[in-house]
C-alpha cells in the first residue's frame, strides 16, 4: 500500500470522482455490456440496475462500458444509453474498429451525450481521421491505453505515453491534449499470460508517480486468457473478480472488471480491499477517505 | 510429431504433420478434416498473427494457409495476416496496409517473416462460411502436394533484455518506496 509524492489529479467525470492518493476515493468499477449478437436490452437493463444498486449500497462508483461491434447497432445502443442510464452518471463506449469509433462519436454528439462520455480508447492504432473527429466531437474524458507493442514493460508503457515510442508522431498524452480532452485515465494495457502480464500492475505506481493521472487496467483479461483455469471451473469467476484487487493494492484508481454480470463478486471484493488500503493510508499518511468511501458506508 | 514443430504453443489442433495445409479459423464454427497439418482460431492482429507465423514456419511441409470464416470485427485479424504475407512489415514493425487496429509484429525477427512469406501461400477465404466450399478448396490444395520448404524454422521469441539492478530497488527502476510505502521518483 502506497502514497505518492507527485500530486495526484482527481477528475469529476459527470458526477463521479476518480484519482487521487490511495485511500481517498474508492476504486471506480467499470463493468462491460458486450452485446454478443443482437443486443438484449432487457437483460442489459437488469444488469445495469444490479450494478448501480451495488454501487449505491457499497460506495464504489460504477460506470457501464458499452461495446459496439456493428454499425447497425449504434443507434439502438445510443438510444438505450440515453434512456436507461441515469442522467448524472458517466458511461464509456468501447469500440475497436476505427470507422465505428467515428460513427459513434457523431451519434453521441447528436444525442447530446458527449458530456457524459468516457471514450475507450485512444492508443497507438488511433487513426488521423479519428483524431479529427475527436476534435470535432470531444468527449468529456478518455481512456488512454499504454500499449507499446515493442516493449510491454512499465518503461515501454511510459514511452508510448510520453513520445509515441517511434510508432506515433508524438506521445499519446500530447495527442489527447491536442484533441482537447482534459480528463485522461491511463489504462496500463494488461497482456496475456506469458506476455509480461504482471507489467500492467507494476506500471500503475510508476505511471501515477510520473504523471499523477488516474490509472487502472482490465487485469481480468489476463484471467480470461489463462486457459489452464478451465480445469478449475468453480474457481474461474472468483479468480476473475479477485484479480482486480491488485489494482487498488498498487495504488490504482479504476478497474475494468469485465462482464457486468460479475458485479456481485467484484464490488464487495474491491470494497474490502479499498477499506484495507484506506485504514493503512490514513494511519500512516493521514489520507482521509471521502464521505462515500466503503469504509464509511459499511462500518 | 517432431519436437521442433509448433514451438510457440497456442489454441490449435495438430493433425497430419506431413500435410501441406494449415487452416486459420476466424469467426466460424468449422472443424477441418484431419488431413490438414494444423488448425486453430485467430483472434488478435498482433500477438495472434505472430503465433501463427512462428508455428507454421516450424513445419516445412506446410505450404498453404487457408484463412476462413467471418472477419474478426474491429481487430480485422484475418486481413492483417493476409497483408503480412503479401506486404511484410515497415520499419516500425507495422504490417504494411493491414486493416487491423494495432497490427504490429514485435516478437518475431525479419528472417522469420521473410521465411513465412516465402514458405506460405495464403488461401484467402475470409468471409467464406460455406463448409462444403471450404472443404473443397482445402482438398484441392492438399492434392497439389508440393515439396517441403527445407528444414524446420524455429522462430526465436524476441524478448527485451532484462535490466541489471545494481542497488536495492523496490518496485521499479523509476521509483523508490520507503519502508512505509511512500513512493517518490528515483534520484529526487
ipTM of the predicted structure?
0.71
pLDDT tens by residue, A182-195: 999 999 999 988 88
Rounded-to-integer distance, Cα A152 and Cα A190, Å? 9
pLDDT in tens, A133-168: 999 999 999 999 999 988 889 999 999 999 999 889
Closest partner residue to A2 (CB to CB) among B75, B104, B181 is B181
A157 contacts A146 by C-beta, under 8 angstroms: yes
Inter-chain CB proximity A96 and B75 less than 8 Å: yes
**Of the given ranges (A20-29, A41-50, B174-183), which has the lowest mean pLDDT?**
B174-183
pLDDT of residue B170: 55
User: Residue B15: is its pLDDT beyond 60?
Assistant: yes
Task: Kindly determine whether residue A202 and residue B92, on different chains, have CB atoms separated by under 8 Å.
Answer: no
- Chain A within 8 Å of B183 (Cβ-Cβ)? yes
- Which of A204, A172, A164 lies closest to A188, judged by CA? A204
The confidence score (pLDDT) of residue B133 equals 96
Would the pLDDT of B101 be above 90? no
Average pLDDT, chain A: 95
Return the number of other C-beta atoms located less than 10 Å from residue A180's C-beta.
Answer: 11
Three-class DSSP labels, B29-96 = CCCCCCCCCEEEECCCCCHHHHHHHHHHHHCCCCCEEEEEEECCCCCCHHHHHHHHHHHCECCCCEEC
- Give the containing element (helix H, strand E) for B113: helix B110-119
Set of chain A residues whose Cβ sits within 8 Å of the Cβ of B93: 149-150
Helices (H) and strands (E) in chain A, counts: 12, 11
Using CB atoms, pick whichever of A158, A191, A209 lies closest to residue B183: A209
Phi, psi of B21, deg, nearest 5: -120, 130
Residue with cell 460506495: A59
Contact state of A3 with B182 under an 8 Å Cβ cutoff: yes
* pLDDT (average), residues A272-285: 95
Q: Which residues of A touch B76 (CB under 8 A)?
A: 97
Distance of CA A286 to CAs A5, A24, A68, A205, Å?
14, 10, 43, 19
Q: Which residue has the higher pLDDT, B172 or B114?
A: B114
A164 touches chain B (CB under 8 A): no
The highest-level CATH class for domain A10-297 is: alpha beta
How many CA atoms lie less than 13 Å away from A199 in the CB half-sphere?
20
Query: CA of A137: how far to CAs of A102, A105, A117, A120, A185, in Å?
Result: 9, 6, 11, 14, 18
How many other C-beta atoms can be found within 10 angstroms of the C-beta atom of residue B170? 12
Share of chain A above pLDDT 70, in %: 100
* CA end-to-end distance (rounded Å), chain A: 21
Percent of chain B at pLDDT exceeding 70: 93
pLDDT confidence band for A230 (50 / 70 / 90): very high
Sorted by where each begins, the domain ranges of chain A are 10-297
Which of B74, B104, B172 is nearest residue A154 as measured by Cβ atoms? Answer: B172
| Mean of pLDDT values over A241-265 | 97
B90 touches chain A (CB under 8 A): no
**A232-245, pLDDT tens digit by residue?**
999 999 999 999 99
Give pLDDT, residue B10: 84
Say what the pLDDT of residue A13 is: 98
> Does the bond joining B107 to the residue before it have cis omega, within 30 degrees of 0?
no
Is B178 in CB contact (< 8 Å) with chain A? no
pLDDT exceeds 60 at position B168: no
Question: Does the pLDDT at position B165 exceed 60?
Answer: no
Task: State residue B106's pLDDT score.
Answer: 86
| pLDDT beyond 70 at B163 | no
Q: According to the model, what pLDDT value does residue B3 have?
A: 81
The pair phi, psi for residue B158, each rounded to 5°, is: -75, 125
pLDDT at B84 over 70: yes
Judged against a pLDDT cut of 90, whether residue A206 lies above it is answered with yes
Whole-angstrom distance, CA of residue A75 vs CA of residue A38? 13
Secondary structure class of B143 (helix, strand, coil): helix
Contact B47 A192 (CB under 8 A): yes
Query: Which segment of A141-150, B135-144, B162-171 scores lowest on mean pLDDT?
Result: B162-171
* For A6, nearest residue in chain B (alpha carbons): B184
Say if residue A286's pLDDT is above 80.
yes
Does residue A253 carry a pLDDT above 90? Answer: yes
Beta carbons of A158 and B174 less than 8 Å apart? yes
Closest CA to B41 of B73, B13, B79, B17: B13
Burial of B169 (0-12, 13-18, 19+ CB in 10 A): middle
Does the pLDDT of residue B89 top 80, yes or no?
A: yes
Sign of CA dihedral A21, A23, A25, A28: positive
Mean of pLDDT over chain B: 89
Instruction: Please tell me if residue A287 touches chain B, with a CB cutoff of 8 Å.
Output: no
Give the number of residues written for chain A: 299
Amino acid at each position: 500500500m502506497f502514497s505518492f509524492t507527485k500530486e495526484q489529479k482527481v477528475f469529476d467525470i459527470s458526477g463521479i470522482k476518480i484519482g487521487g492518493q490511495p485511500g481517498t476515493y474508492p476504486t471506480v468499477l467499470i463493468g462491460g455490456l458486450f452485446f454478443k449478437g443482437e443486443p438484449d436490452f432487457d437483460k442489459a437493463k437488469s444488469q445495469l440496475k444490479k450494478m448501480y444498486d451495488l454501487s449505491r449500497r457499497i460506495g464504489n462508483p460504477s460506470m457501464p462500458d458499452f461495446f459496439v461491434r456493428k454499425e447497425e447497432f449504434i443507434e439502438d445502443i445510443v438510444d438505450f444509453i440515453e434512456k436507461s442510464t441515469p442522467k448524472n452518471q458517466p458511461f464509456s463506449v468501447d469500440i475497436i474498429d476505427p470507422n465505428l469509433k467515428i460513427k459513434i462519436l457523431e451519434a453521441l454528439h447528436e444525442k447530446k451525450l458527449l458530456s457524459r462520455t468516457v471514450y475507450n480508447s485512444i492508443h497507438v492504432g488511433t487513426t488521423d481521421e479519428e483524431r479529427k473527429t475527436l476534435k470535432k466531437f470531444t468527449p468529456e474524458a478518455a481512456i488512454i491505453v499504454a500499449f507499446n507493442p515493442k516493449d510491454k514493460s512499465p518503461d515501454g508503457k511510459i514511452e508510448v505515453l510520453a513520445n509515441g515510442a517511434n510508432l506515433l508522431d508524438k506521445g499519446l498524452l500530447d495527442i489527447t491534449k491536442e484533441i482537447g480532452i482534459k480528463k485522461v485515465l491511463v489504462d496500463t494495457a494488461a497482456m496475456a499470460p506469458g506476455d509480461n502480464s504482471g507489467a500492467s500492475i507494476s506500471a500503475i505506481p510508476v505511471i501515477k508517480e510520473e504523471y499523477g493521472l488516474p490509472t487502472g487496467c482490465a487485469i481480468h483479461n489476463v484471467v480470461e486468457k489463462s486457459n489452464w483455469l478451465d480445469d478449475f471451473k468453480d474457481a474461474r469467476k472468483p479468480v476473475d473478480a479477485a484479480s482486480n484487487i491488485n489494482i487498488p493494492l498498487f495504488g490504482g484508481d479504476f478497474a475494468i472488471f469485465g462482464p457486468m454480470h460479475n458485479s456481485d463478486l467484484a464490488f464487495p471484493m474491491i470494497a474490502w480491499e479499498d477499506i484495507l488500503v484506506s485504514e493503512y493510508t490514513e494511519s500512516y499518511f493521514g489520507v482521509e477517505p471521502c464521505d462515500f468511501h466503503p469504509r464509511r458506508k459499511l462500518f | 510429431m517432431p519436437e521442433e514443430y509448433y514451438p510457440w504453443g497456442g489454441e490449435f489442433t495438430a493433425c497430419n504433420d506431413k500435410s501441406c495445409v494449415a487452416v486459420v479459423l476466424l469467426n466460424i464454427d468449422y472443424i477441418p478434416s484431419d488431413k490438414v497439418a494444423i488448425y486453430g482460431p485467430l483472434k488478435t492482429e498482433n500477438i495472434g498473427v505472430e503465433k501463427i507465423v512462428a508455428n507454421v514456419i516450424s513445419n516445412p511441409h506446410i505450404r498453404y494457409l487457408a484463412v476462413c470464416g467471418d472477419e474478426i470485427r474491429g481487430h480485422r485479424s484475418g486481413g492483417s495476416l493476409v497483408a503480412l504475407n503479401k506486404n511484410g512489415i515497415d520499419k516500425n514493425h507495422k504490417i504494411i496496409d493491414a486493416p487491423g487496429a494495432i497490427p504490429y509484429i514485435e516478437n518475431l525477427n525479419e528472417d522469420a517473416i521473410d521465411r513465412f512469406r516465402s514458405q506460405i501461400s495464403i488461401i484467402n477465404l475470409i468471409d467464406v462460411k460455406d463448409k462444403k466450399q471450404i472443404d473443397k478448396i482445402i482438398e484441392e490444395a492438399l492434392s497439389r502436394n508440393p515439396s517441403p520448404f527445407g528444414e524446420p524454422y524455429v522462430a526465436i521469441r524476441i524478448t527485451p533484455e532484462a535490466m541489471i539492478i545494481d542497488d536495492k530497488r523496490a518496485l521499479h527502476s523509476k521509483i523508490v518506496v520507503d519502508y512505509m510505502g511512500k513512493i517518490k521518483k528515483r534520484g529526487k
